Amino acid sequence: MAAPVVAVTVSTLRGLAGRPVTPSGWRLLLDVLFPVVLQGRASTAELAARFYIEQRPALDRPAPPLDPPSYQRDALDRAVARTARTRLRDRASSRAAISDTAAVVTRHVMQAGRDVLVTAAQTDRVRWARVPTGRETCAFCWLLASRGPVYRSADMTRWHDRCDCLVVPVHNPDDWEGRATFLAAQRLWRDSTEGKSGRDALNAFRRALTRSPDPTAT
């Protein structure tokens, strides 16, 4: 889903790297990136809407609206300025700048889908779970995932760059996509933090994750 966006971001930034970015160069960059990000957001939002409808049981009320939130060029400008604007000109920092920018642009693309799901779940008054999907899940996300379908609103949502977590609305607590992952994370949390609390518990959980980075594999 985010692959075309990453490809365009990387190739465009490479073309600008190694010298100071002029105002017109910057405008050009956004002229290229903005439509690609919009397109990516439309795709993730559509995919999320389809997923929501698929896993929603027959209810006596109509499905909630599944429109993606609006997105402004300003938001992209600010995000890309933070990761790239000054770091792009130096050879030493341009590689990291490009990789970080690809990550932030990817997050903006994925956010459309996450927003669709969180808003729909809220309207249907069901909770949602955070389900890690891959190679780079951090301890923070595993912690949130280990709590299962407890999330209600958008206000405690933090999505970091390179986060691979999905929003999964849960209509039936005994049967939902990602339940096995949740149970594995919950088990790891319980086993590793027994008798501990607060920061000690979190540190123990973190150590357990270092030993088994994929709780679902054990």
Q: Would you tell me which residues interact with Zn ion (CB under 5 A)?
A: 141, 163, 165
Number of Cβ within a 10 Å radius of residue 46? 15
CB of 145 to Zn ion, least distance (A): 8
Residue 38 or 183: the one with the smaller Cβ distance to Zn ion is 183
Closer by beta carbon to Zn ion, 102 or else 163:
163
Shortest distance, position 108 Cβ to Zn ion, whole Å: 15
> Of 38, 33, 39, whose CA–CA distance to 83 is shortest?
33
* Smallest separation (angstroms) from Zn ion to the CB of 166: 9
Q: Which is nearer to Zn ion, 12 or 137 (CB)?
A: 137
Question: Looking at beta carbons only, is 165 or 168 nearer to Zn ion?
Answer: 165
CB of 141 to Zn ion, least distance (A): 3
Report the nearest approach of Zn ion to the CB of residue 208 (Å): 17
The DSSP-derived string for 3-27 is: HHHHHHHHHHHHHHTTSPPPHHHHH
Name the strand (E) or helix (H) holding 91.
Answer: helix 91-124
Residue pair 183/218 in contact by the 8 Å Cβ criterion: no
* Chain mean position to CA 140: 13
Q: How far is the CB of 167 from Zn ion (least distance, A)?
A: 11
The residue (of 17 and 163) whose beta carbon lies closer to Zn ion is 163
CB 204 within 8 A of CB 89: no
- What are the φ and ψ backbone dihedral angles of 66, each rounded to 5 degrees? -125, 35
- Closest residue by Cα to residue 109 from 158, 62, 39: 39
Q: Looking at this protein, which amino acid is placed at residue 24?
A: S
For Zn ion, give the closer residue by CB, 122 or 157. 157
